[in-house]
Amino acid sequence: MLFDLSGKRKRVVQVVYAALAVLFAVSFVGFGIGSDASGGIFDIFGLGSNSDNQSGNPAFEEQIQEAEDKAAANPNDEKSYAELVQLHYQAGNDAVEVDESTGQISMTQESEEEYQAAVSSWGDYLKAAKQPEASTAAIANQAFTVILQSAEPTEVESIAKDAVVPAQIAAEDTPGVGPWAQVAQYAYFSGNTALGDEAAKKAIAEADGSERKQLEKDLAGYAKAAAALEKQIKKQAEKGDDSGAFSNPLEESAGGSGALPGAGAGLPGTPTPAP
């Protein structure tokens, strides 16, 4: 992965959960699909088990070390890499700070590092896996969602190029409005307009009649936002200006009325740290 989250300021991300499938789900806030949830649902998914969590969970650290040792002994062991994707993502959830009364999440340095480790492990998993499993892709997809919402504007395109792969695998396994709309969004921000349009059509085809018009509007908005961001970055690069005068549209819309996917999924087979 060509991005680095170390040393960044804490960022606040509003995470919205909506059930679109029995095993796992990806929701789009702006489409009015599903419902908002906060508080107790974080306990269900193991997110932010301590509101003032500042240190690593020894149980996760031990399990991660065991999986890393297995992967080092056998670089082609896809199962070990899949375990690392799950463990790092769960450790990231465990390290965030959650205000259970509002559902607001404060990303800590540790949680950012764990989410980055999860997507890095996903890259290793892809190299080893002959046929990537949708359940592992779904977990990597959630890690990418969090990372994209806290990324610098200039990082969005490169991260989205990696994020679209697990998003597409998950959508093909469990199709729906949210999954395909998320593929479209990531594809647009990665610069792959053709894939974005294709995924957008699939999302629209899955939508109910009452949702379709708003969905079409939102998807067109994603394409425009992605094109505008690319234009802003090129313009600033030409000027040699690195002052960061523009922002990440994914971060701006997270949890607001604008519409970008919220992170959240019931993770099949998510490891539980031993007491």
The whole-number pLDDT of residue 96 equals 87
Please report where in the chains the tokens 């919205």 appear, as a residue: 16
pLDDT tens for the chain, 275 residues long, are: 333 434 333 333 332 222 222 222 333 333 333 333 333 333 334 445 444 444 467 778 999 999 999 999 999 999 999 999 999 999 999 888 888 888 787 888 999 999 999 999 999 999 999 899 999 999 999 999 989 887 888 889 999 999 999 999 999 999 999 999 999 999 999 999 999 999 999 999 999 888 898 999 999 998 998 998 888 888 887 777 655 555 556 654 443 333 333 333 322 233 333 33
Number of helices (H), then strands (E), in the chain = 10, 5
Asked if 110 contacts 6 with a C-beta cutoff of 8 angstroms, the reply is no
The whole-number pLDDT of residue 247 equals 59
Q: For the packed helices 177-190 and 134-149, what is the interaxial angle rounded to 10 degrees?
A: 60
For 106, phi and psi rounded to 5 degrees? -105, 120
Delimit the domains of the chain by residue range: 12-262
Q: What's the whole-model pTM score? A: 0.71
| Residue 212 in tokens | 């379709």
**CA nearest neighbour of 49 among 82, 108, 93:** 93
**CA nearest neighbour of 112 among 88, 87, 135:** 88
- What residues have CB less than 8 Å from 29, skipping those under 6 apart? 16, 18, 36, 255, 256, 257, 259, 260, 261, 262
